[in-house]
Amino acid sequence: MSALQAVQGTKRPRPDLGHRVDSDVVDSSHGVILYLEEITVSFDGFRALNALTLYIDAGELRCIIGPNGAGKTTLMDVITGKTRPDSGTAFFGQTLDLTRMSEPEIARAGIGRKFQKPTVFEQHTVFENLELAMKADKRVRRTLFASLSGEDRDRIAETLAMVRLTSEAHRPAGLLSHGQKQWLEIGMLLMQEPKLLLLDEPVAGMTDEETERTAELISSLAGSRSLVVVEHDMAFIAKLGGKVTVLHEGSVLAEGTLDAVQADPRVIEVYLGR
């Protein structure tokens, strides 16, 4: 049993390490959608991740916190295929070995990532941004802005409502506020039907009102998909609820509710006390 499993008090069913299916069907039948075990990543002798073990349940909302240099960005880079681990295993569901998949393959399998700075097509309308992001049939070459089916339009309308941009549908994305651009990018990721969504500091630079609305949006997404949120804003994390994982020097230092990790002397010493 690993150190993290001892902290959690349960041993997670392991994926079939000798089997990889070239498919976008994610097997989360054991209740876990992401398995990271003993992941180590080094850059020029510096260990960005040090035998890190982490499990994310299907439908879970998990917050990741930790001081600068704790390994949060490298963790997301490993999950999305941008960085290959030196050792350890990374599985999406029971059968998809992330260490053997390219970044596009991982994205198609259902892992979406939002970076801190929003990236939208500013010259296009909000509606057109969602249309561009729509998950198209990869077997058919689709023309940009081809005629949309009624089902496609319903999906876009549903996403607009979800991210609270219905009234801005025909407005150029470049004219949106910072917070609205963040919501639009989340909407663009949702159009790709991710099963796991990684969000990097989603409320950085937002007003208090935008932060409140973002907490409501992210909380509403949990259950239908898994979310991993990297954030420094403790008040925002408190609004989200759920389990919090604290990273330090590339490893998991503590896990639990926000109240529990905030009361942990080790967390106070290396992070909260600074």
Architecture of domain 1-109+242-274: 3-Layer(aba) Sandwich (3.40)
| DSSP code for 25 | -
- What is 84-137 written as a DSSP string? --SEEEEEETTTEEGGGS-HHHHHHHTEEEE-SS----TTSBHHHHHHHHS---
Give the pLDDT mean for 32-45: 94
Instruction: Supply the DSSP symbol for 225.
Output: B
Neighbours of 92 (CB within 10 A): 25
pLDDT of residue 143: 53
| 3-state secondary structure at position 265 | helix
91-121 residue pLDDT tens: 999 899 999 999 999 999 999 999 877 789 9
Query: CA 142 to CA 56: how far, in whole Å?
Result: 34
pLDDT at 142: 53
Strand pairing of 61-65 and 251-256?
A: unpaired
Query: Is the pLDDT reported for residue 10 higher than 60?
Result: no
Question: What ranges do the domains of the chain cover?
Answer: 1-109+242-274, 118-200+209-225
Count the Cβ atoms, other than its own, within 10 Å of residue 116. 14
Cα–Cα distance between 174 and 1 in angstroms, integer?
51
- Strand-pairing partners, residue 252, are 247
Residue 17 near residue 89, CB atoms below 8 Å: yes
Fold of the domain spanning 118-200+209-225: Rossmann fold (3.40.50)
Establish whether domains 1-109+242-274 and 118-200+209-225 are of one fold. yes
User: pTM for the complete prediction?
Assistant: 0.86
- Asked if pLDDT for residue 210 goes beyond 80, the answer is yes
DSSP secondary-structure letter at 250? T
The string of pLDDT tens digits covering residues 149-167 is 888 899 999 999 999 999 9
The pLDDT > 70 percentage for the chain reads: 85
